[in-house]
Amino acid sequence: MNKTDKYCVCANCDFREVVFAHLDDVAIQELCNHKDEMSFRKGEIINREGEKITNFKYLKSGLVKLYRRTSSGEEQVITITRPFEFVSNMSIFSEDRYKYSVSALEDSVVCIVKLDFIKGLFLKNGGFAMGLLTKISKINDKIINQTLDIRQKNLIGRVAFVLLYFTKEIYNSLIFDIPVSRKEIADYIGMSTANVIRTLSDFKREGIIKVFGKTIEIVDLNKLEIISKRG
């Protein structure tokens, strides 16, 4: 390693396993030399709708939400996602400005690489290009499928769906601190905040969940799955 080379663990990290398996050690080091990490506290904007796209961003740790503003200024939550996904990069090859905003739902760390460098890798390494495009395509498919699944459900089915998403996809636990407000849940599933609050209260009364402030415990996972499926 040259004195000017940065030290990093890209060669062993999940980032390489997800996309960069096609890069050799020299390319990994070159990537490392062009990579920076930025920390974002809960509530901070990682990128804002309308900003010029200059970087490729990768969520290393934490939790974020992808959203946009309507013409009336209301927030539309598109998805909530965990590390090892590239939600901020959905438009990097088709637009010059972000079409969506991304903000941290908890303290998060983002890897940042200059977009011109990533595009250079595309031209030099077809395997890398295919790997990255495949990953971004899968993320887009997941978001579309989630949206369609939610739209096909009634109110209680939608609330059950989002609780199952948190317990299975985000936290892999029956007990978790819900990372968003009731209003954000409502924005995500296309319902009013009052309906979300009432449905959570109904689930609590029926013994499906327990609620302790922001902490939720899934008591009857099977019933919640049935409600989501039939909803």
Q: pLDDT, tens digit, for every residue of 106-165?
A: 999 988 888 888 888 888 888 888 888 888 888 888 888 888 888 889 989 999 999 999
Across the strands, what pairs with 106? 63
In what helix (H) or strand (E) does residue 80 lie, and over which residues does it extend?
strand 75-81
Q: Residue 24: is its pLDDT beyond 80?
A: no
| Helix orientation angle between 193-205 and 155-164, rounded to the nearest 10 degrees | 70
Phi, psi of 64 (to 5 degrees): -135, 165
Q: Are 110 and 216 part of one and the same domain? A: no
**Among 149, 176, 199, which residue terminates a domain?**
149
- In the block, tokens 């991304």 appear at 102
Q: How many domains does the chain have?
A: 2
- Asked if the structure places residue 222 within a domain, the reply is yes
Residues 96, 135: one domain?
A: yes
Q: How high is the pLDDT of residue 202?
A: 95
Tell me, yes or no, whether 125 and 158 share the same domain: no
CA distances from 56 to 42, 99, 120, 138, 212 (A): 21, 14, 12, 17, 38
- Report the pLDDT averaged over residues 188-201: 93
pTM (2 d.p.): 0.80
